[in-house]
Structure 1
Amino acid sequence: MVKRLLFAFACFVTLLIVSATTAYASYGIYVGSERTADGSVLIGGTGDEVSSHWLKIEPRQKHGPDETIEVGVTGEATFPGELIEIPQVEETAKYISMDYSDYEGFPAPLTNGGLNEHGVAGRDIWSPSRQALIDMTPEPQRGPNYSDLSRIAMERATTSREAVEIIGDLMDEHGYSTYGGNSHMFADNEEGWVVINFAGGEGLWVAERLGADEVRMSYPGYIGDIPEDYQDDPDFMGSDNLISFAEEQGWYDSDSGEPFNVHEVYGDQDAPMRSETVEEIEGRLTDMGSEVTVNDMMATVRDPIVSSDTNGYGQVARLTGDRRHDDLANLWVAPTGSVTAPFIPWYIGATEVPPEFGEHRYMTKGAASNFLNPDYQSQEATEFAGRTFKRLMYHTCEHPDKFLPEVNEALEAFEEDMLDEQQSVRDTAYALYNAGQEDLAQEYLTTYSTERAMEGLELGQALLGSIEARTEVLYGIREPEGDQINSDGETIDCNPAEDSE
């Protein structure tokens, strides 16, 4: 208990250190194919934002030759900017993501990535730049923001390497609108990449390849030493000025004989490159050798060390070489923090999201000052999965020693049943595709994911009802002592060391 309390305190201190740059801390985890039990690549994580989140299946679309997309940030952002138009491509890919409604003057809907029909998965993770770069950020700034880059990568990339090249080209041509520094993690069934976009308005970016034998947690996104000929090295990419700009500022001397360490040169100078959280989780997964499973990745994303009320969702993608049909790839998504919410498998072939998992007014920007749009009346009338599992989280995390083990046991058993049936689901869908019944195959995958999602919601309702009733009998509903319902920094987590019992 003492060890866990000290570790939780260290995590809290780490978050405080970076709070001046970014209020919350999304994360991403990569496990290469030589580290997994079935030879797949695993990538998972979450997005942490004060906002509503909802599942979105964006279809493949064709676009006109003169069509453009609006990118950037508004004057309401922490670092004010101006929106600009950039060209859209002729055709964009189908992808699954969790969208959300509000962050720092960044136009909604926002995304941190997801999974596209080409089997490319993406995560978006904070990565604070050094203060001197933050101070250089022009006003107004122009260029795509982190969400624009993530969405465009999902729309266009056919490999994780191509996702990096797309982001680099966009920054080189159109600039970049920052909130203080950001990173991306991309993966396909062969490799992964970490990309860092730096503040400062100088177009600085760098990327490092993650191989088949690697484990990486971005929390925040980090890159260490890179070779000076990084642009000629297949394991690295970056802007042309990556090293030359650092030399101009006196932050690096190429004649010193010292390696160019990205974090030491461009990262937050008051924070370690790898936090204790990163060392703990990377070490835990590495110690599993070559036996990491999807279950292990789900358990890692669910760990209360990093899964809490700040999570908007949880995601896990298993990327394999089984490309019989693009529609057979799936993304496991928890509708809010997965510490008390189940992962549901959503297939690329699915065409609809049940209204319970779609957009609702809970935590949506503008909900407190506007009435409901009648167009959303029916959808809003349904139970919102995100809100249900938030309530379950709040009751569970009030007394985690008592309730968290049973919630985890139920969620893991539910997920285990779904994991066992995935091969059968893919085989059935493929047989329909192979017989030329594409519409029927997509209907089958849509029905499957929808039914499992509703079963997960029913499980959440049962757990919530049981735990709420026992909380009232065993402990009573604790009354708040203050008069401010909104937090001024402290957040809810399910760490047993914080049990209020």
Structure 2
Amino acid sequence: MAPLSTASADLGQGHMQVAAKNRPLADDGTKSIGFYVGKNLTEDGSVLLGGFGHEPSSHWLEIVPRQQFPDGATTTVGVTGEAGYPGELTEIPQASETNKYIASNYSEWAGFPAPLSNGGLNEHGVAARDIWSPSSQRLLAHTETPQRGPNYSDLSRIAMERASTAREAVEIVGGLIDEYGYSTYGGNSHLFADKDEGWVLVNYGGSQGLWAAERLGPNETRVSFPGYLNPFPLDYQDHPDEYLASDNFIDFAVEQGWFDPERNDEFDPQEVYAGWQPNDRVVTPTHPWGNNVQGDLERELREDLGPVSLEDMLAYVRDPRWSHDRSGYGHVARLADVEHADLNALWTAVTGAVTTPYVPIYIGANDVPPEYKQHRYLTHDSASTHIAADYAPLEATRYATRTFKRLMYHTCEHPRVFLKPVTADIERFERRLIREQRRVERQALLRYQAGRDAEARQGLTDYVNDRLLDALDLGEDLVADVEAQTRDRWGIRMPTGRDTPGETYRPESQSMNRDAVLTDIVFCFREGIDDYPREHGSYRGATVTPRGR
């Protein structure tokens, strides 16, 4: 695989330009990121799992209810002929009963049918992150046309629907690949966790049914950026508590002449199957990426932040080194023993957490406000037809993703002025939410203990809806203030556009997208604004306006 070209940044305009010519899609170092911290390294003994996906798409929240299905029910999986590695959709059996779970859905990724998901949190306290993990070109050369089998989103969704532990999620995903195959975009991984442990599973491209997983224990941290596996012992099958894999995991490499067990004491999946990674340390102005920096980030979590608190993880996922316009959302799951399963919660920022507040979404809640559901902004094919009439009332509501995108774009235009005060106002709001969780959970638990389950769930639903709308109101206040100050001090910068000989329209009427050669990323990171990682709430004295909030 061809390496990334040298990155350059125009720090005055908040854009990073990365040369992308002749680069396969799976090589783009902005796919997704996941953070795992074992329970012995956290402040309260919980397991923490955080991260987000990178997608050029609309994003929305969904609480999917527990459901039952009749015998013979099926679910559609796979990719279409429009995917980078073309495939066809197929049907596989659906479970007779599926779990309730929370997810951030999105509408667009490289020919993969929407709605798509990178995981989330289910009613059993199993959390999932879905993270890119490029396979080697020599392995991808074996990819069948058309591909068949579940894609990365199908696997994440089904794990949430069926798993009751992190290990079971691995067994479910591996079993699906064993039976039905796997439709790849170039290689992928999953990071599963529950209150006791985590598991990293890599599903390799190339249509060979290759997958492998390793356990993450209570004293470990893991940064998947991309997802990776450490070397396996040759007798890994004798250690099922630590390693799981497809039956052909090592045998295929031996058959291809890529690995000789007579000359090696262990099997390194990264060396044998993984795609290109930087040989030198590459840290862009927006984020580090690749296996060359993962060790540094894991040490940050273990040493600089440890013991890691919920607030630490919220701030880490928000870190402007990697949270920017391509960050579709922000998730943090605090996984611990809860007195009722409905009190499991996923702290969720509806779009990039760098300028979006997190709100705890309880599994016990029934739904989220329409402002946090699907809208047409950034949604695939939304401009090709008029809206279907039954969707008009939903579309007529405010759209939280749009509001917080506006706040990101204004903040990142002048981050030395706005990043700290915007973050301060957002984190003041979050710290209030953190303080009130004990009361919210105690009220719900008393109702459950009294057998008033429906009342408890309605209370959690009301709380989640109220706080999501409070967050949206905060976002609208902040973006109004930042935009007003921007207009007064600098004006709104207009695009320069592209040279279009013979045409009379202004640059503002040209396409807002760039061609395949240049990709612009809006980001807030600037050298010298702060040292990272930083403490949640560290900008307490700052505010966007003198009145504060």
Q: Same fold (TM over 0.5)?
A: yes
Give me the identity figure in percent. Answer: 52
Runs of 4+ in 1 over 4 A off after TM superposition: 11-20
1:57-456 equivalence runs, <5 A: 57-233=63-239, 234-271=241-278, 274-288=290-304, 290-322=306-338, 324-456=339-471
Q: Residue 219 of structure 1 contacts residue 278 of structure 1 at CA under 8 Å; is this kept in 2?
A: yes
Whole-Å separation in 2 of the counterparts to 1:479 and 1:129:
40
Instruction: Summarize the alignment of residues 17-36 of structure 1 with structure 2, pairs less than 5 Å apart.
Output: 20-23=25-28, 24-36=30-42
Aligned length: 491
Against the structure 1 CA distance between its residues 437 and 92, is the aligned structure 2 distance closer, same or farther, given a 3 Å change threshold?
Answer: same
Mark the CA change 1:83 to 1:445 in structure 2 (over 3 Å): closer, same or farther: same
> How many Å separate the matches in 1 of 2:309 and 2:57?
31
Q: Is contact 1:40-1:318 (8 Å) kept?
A: yes
**How far has the Cα of 1:267 moved from its partner?**
0.4
Any conservation in 2 of the 1:29–1:43 contact (CA below 8 Å)? yes
Question: Shift of residue 427 of structure 1?
Answer: 1.2
Alignment partner of 1:492 is 2:508: no
Cα deviation, residue 231, structure 1:
2.1
- 8 Å Cα contact 1:17-1:270 kept in structure 2: no
Asked if 1 retains the 8 angstrom alpha-carbon contact of 2:327 and 2:352, the reply is yes
Amino acid of the structure 2 residue aligned with 1:21 = A
Instruction: Report Cα offsets for 1:115-134 as digits up to 9, x if no partner.
Output: 00000000000000001111
RMSD after superposition: 2.0
Distance in 2 (alpha carbons) for counterparts of 1:15 and 1:217 = 25
Change over 3 Å in CA distance of 1:168–1:209 after alignment to 2: same
Paired residues of 1:182 and 1:221 also in contact (CA < 8 A): yes
Distance 2:292 2:490 in 1: 34
Question: 1:25–1:125: 8 Å Cα contact kept in structure 2?
Answer: yes
Q: Contact between 2:83 and 2:112, CA under 8 Å: does it hold in 1?
A: yes
Name the CA distance, whole Å, in 2 between partners of 1:341 and 1:72: 32
Give, in angstroms, the shift of residue 12 of structure 1.
Answer: 8.6
Deviation at 1:274, TM superposition (A): 4.8
Distance in 2 (CA, whole Å) between partners of 1:18 and 1:252 is: 27
Aligned to 1:44, which of 33, 41, 50?
A: 50
Q: Structure 1 residues 12, 480: CA separation in 2 closer, same or farther (over 3 Å shift)?
A: closer
Which residue of structure 1 lines up, in the alignment, with residue 478 of structure 2? Answer: 463
Distance in 2 separating the partners of 1:466 and 1:445: 32
My pick for the range that moved more, 275-284 or 344-353, is 275-284
Question: Displacement, 1:497?
Answer: 4.0
Are the structure 2 counterparts of residues 31 and 17 from structure 1 closer, same or farther at C-alpha, using a change threshold of 3 Å? Answer: farther
| CA displacement at 1:16 relative to structure 2 | 9.5
The AA in structure 2 aligned to 1:227 is P
- The alpha-carbon distance between structure 1 residues 207 and 450, as it changes in their structure 2 partners (threshold 3 A), is same
Q: Aligned partner of 1:307: which letter?
A: S
Distance in 1 (CA, whole Å) between partners of 2:22 and 2:202 is 19
Structure 1, unmatched stretches of 5+, are none
- The answer to whether the 8 Å contact 1:18/1:271 transfers is no
Using structure 2 for the length normalisation, give the TM-score: 0.86
- Displacement, 1:258? 4.1
What letter matches 1:495 in structure 2?
F
Name the CA shift for 1:141/1:19 in 2 (closer, same or farther; >3 Å).
closer
Measured in 1, the distance between the counterparts of 2:379 and 2:310 equals 31
> Contact (CA 8 Å) 1:74, 1:80: kept in 2 or not?
yes
What letter is aligned with 2:380? K
Give, in angstroms, the shift of residue 368 of structure 1. Answer: 1.4
**In structure 2, C-alpha distance between the alignment counterparts of 1:75 and 1:311, rounded to whole Å:** 27
2:326 partner amino acid: T
CA displacement, residues 179-228 of structure 1 (integer Å, 9 cap, x when unaligned) = 00000000000000100000000000010100001110100001121111
d(CA) in 2 for partners of 1:426, 1:118: 17
Within 2, Cα distance between the matches of 1:320 and 1:252?
41
Q: Quote the Cα distance in structure 1 between the aligned partners of 2:46 and 2:181.
A: 35
Report if aligned partners of 1:188, 1:319 keep a CA contact under 8 Å in 2: yes
Partner Cα separation in structure 2 for residue 14 and residue 346 of structure 1:
39
Q: Evaluate the alpha carbon distance shift between residue 213 and residue 48 of structure 1 in structure 2; reply closer, same or farther with a 3 A threshold.
A: same
Q: Counterpart amino acid of 1:39?
A: G
> What do the CA deviations read for 1:27-58 (whole angstroms, capped 9, x no partner)?
11000000000000000000111111110000
Give TM-score scaled by structure 1 length: 0.94
Task: Note the alpha carbon deviations across 1:360-387, whole angstroms, 9 max, x for none.
Answer: 0001111011111111111111110000
Change (3 A) 1:22 1:367: farther
Letter in 1 for 2:363: I
| Distance change (3 Å), C-alpha of 1:305 and 1:280 | farther
- Aligned to 2:81, the other structure's residue is in SS state coil
Deviations 1:402-427 (A, max 9, x none): 10000111111111111111122111
SS of 2:477 mapped into structure 1: helix
Distance 1:452 1:250, change over 3 A: same
What are the ranges of 5 or more consecutive residues in structure 2 without an aligned counterpart? 1-7, 280-288, 499-510, 530-549
